[in-house]
Amino acid sequence: MVTIRDVAEHAGVSVSTVSHAISGKRPISQVTRQRIFQAIEQLGYEPNPAARALRTKSTGVIGFFAFDITEVFAARIIHGVERIVREKNCFLLFTSGVGFNYDLAHGIDFLRKRRVDGIIIAYGVRQEISPKTFDLSNIPLVTINTFVDLTIPSLHPDDFQGGKEAALHLVSKQARHPAMIAGPENRLASKERLLGFQKGLEECGMPFDASERVMYGDFGAESGSYCFDALLKACPDLDAVFCANDYMAAGAINRAITSGISIPQDMHIIGYDDREFAAFWPIPITTFAQPLEYMGELGATMLFERIDGHNPEPSMIKLAPTLIARQSS
């Protein structure tokens, strides 16, 4: 069995230097670090998590709670989190709201009882959670797409900026009479995308009557179709539609095609979220990609800083989406 002493001898350094390189808790030159990890790979050394737990009172396990870990957004965030967790030679323990009837308190309690070193909460549905929902004491915590209070570091997609960029993109395509198919009025992401869209049009000097030019769907393709129909009837001059997600954009595009409307010649339609199907729709959908994997990486990095005792001022960080221009606009 390969030991840490074997790694040290192979790399020509002390045992403590190998230990510091693995834990990442003390600065080591890049050359030395590279030599140590090459030795680890060549010898097939695997740190003993049980020994580390006894030595440091750390389990080396990070808890991750998501609304639904099978949902693509959560899966992409997890991918980013896992990359950082692996670099730290730690392990990731997942649990899902589905298993606890979406009861966050029970999910957090499940992770605490397994003595995780820290927890990342990443709800698939953006929402605010009362700090009274669970015990925040004595455990480092970071949230993604979820707001608890200003004492907890949090990462969020910048939906307002995305909505604003949607407006600017449509105006750049010579759209003069745009409208929006928003999501449910009680969803924060939909609200912010609408507010950003209105702000972008305002900055371009374009009048926009939300009472006539906004329809509310349920984020499903069928609602995109009937909302598009309603906009055509309410706004005869309609020449562009921003949809709050790709499913509704897909439904709107389908309805436009069956109505004999040419896209993008007569109508620009854009979506949001860059779902997998968006690039392969009959008319590929212009959309906005959210930096989900990067959010996972950054969230995990912030959590390890707190675990290591580096507690910068808690902050709310917003990350802007990226426009993916395709044939629908």
pLDDT for 57-83, tens place per residue? 678 899 998 877 778 888 899 999 999
Give the per-residue pLDDT at 54. 45
pLDDT for 236-265, tens place per residue? 999 999 999 999 999 999 999 999 999 999
pLDDT at residue 323 is higher than 90: yes
Of the listed ranges 12-26, 99-113, 170-184, 312-326, the least confidently predicted one is 99-113
Identify the residue with better confidence: 194 or 45.
194
Q: How much is the average pLDDT of 82-109?
A: 79
Identify the residue with better confidence: 213 or 136.
213
The CATH number of domain 159-289 is 3.40.50.2300: yes
Confidence of residue 298 (pLDDT cuts 50, 70, 90): very high
In SS3 terms, the chain reads as: CCCHHHHHHHHCCCHHHHHHHHHCCCCCCHHHHHHHHHHHHHHCCCCCHHHHHHHHCCCCEEEEEECCCCCHHHHHHHHHHHHHHHHCCCEEEEEEHHHHCCCHHHHHHHHHHCCCCEEEEEEEEEEECCHHHCCCCCCCEEEEEEECCCCCCEEEECHHHHHHHHHHHHHHCCCCCEEEEECCCCCHHHHHHHHHHHHHHHHCCCCCCHHHHEEECCCCHHHHHHHHHHHHHHCCCCCEEEECCHHHHHHHHHHHHHCCCCCCCCCEEECCCCCHHHHHCCCCCEEEECCHHHHHHHHHHHHHHHHCCCCCCCCEEEECCEEECCCCC
**Fold entry, domain 4-47:** 434 Repressor (Amino-terminal Domain) (1.10.260)
pLDDT at residue 307 is higher than 80: yes
Domains 58-157+292-319 and 159-289 share a fold: yes
Identify the residue with better confidence: 105 or 92.
92
pLDDT at residue 126 is higher than 70: no
CATH number at 58-157+292-319: 3.40.50.2300
| Domain ranges across the chain | 4-47, 58-157+292-319, 159-289
pTM beyond 0.95: the answer is no
pLDDT for 8-64, tens place per residue? 899 899 888 887 777 666 778 878 888 888 888 888 887 665 555 545 567 889 999
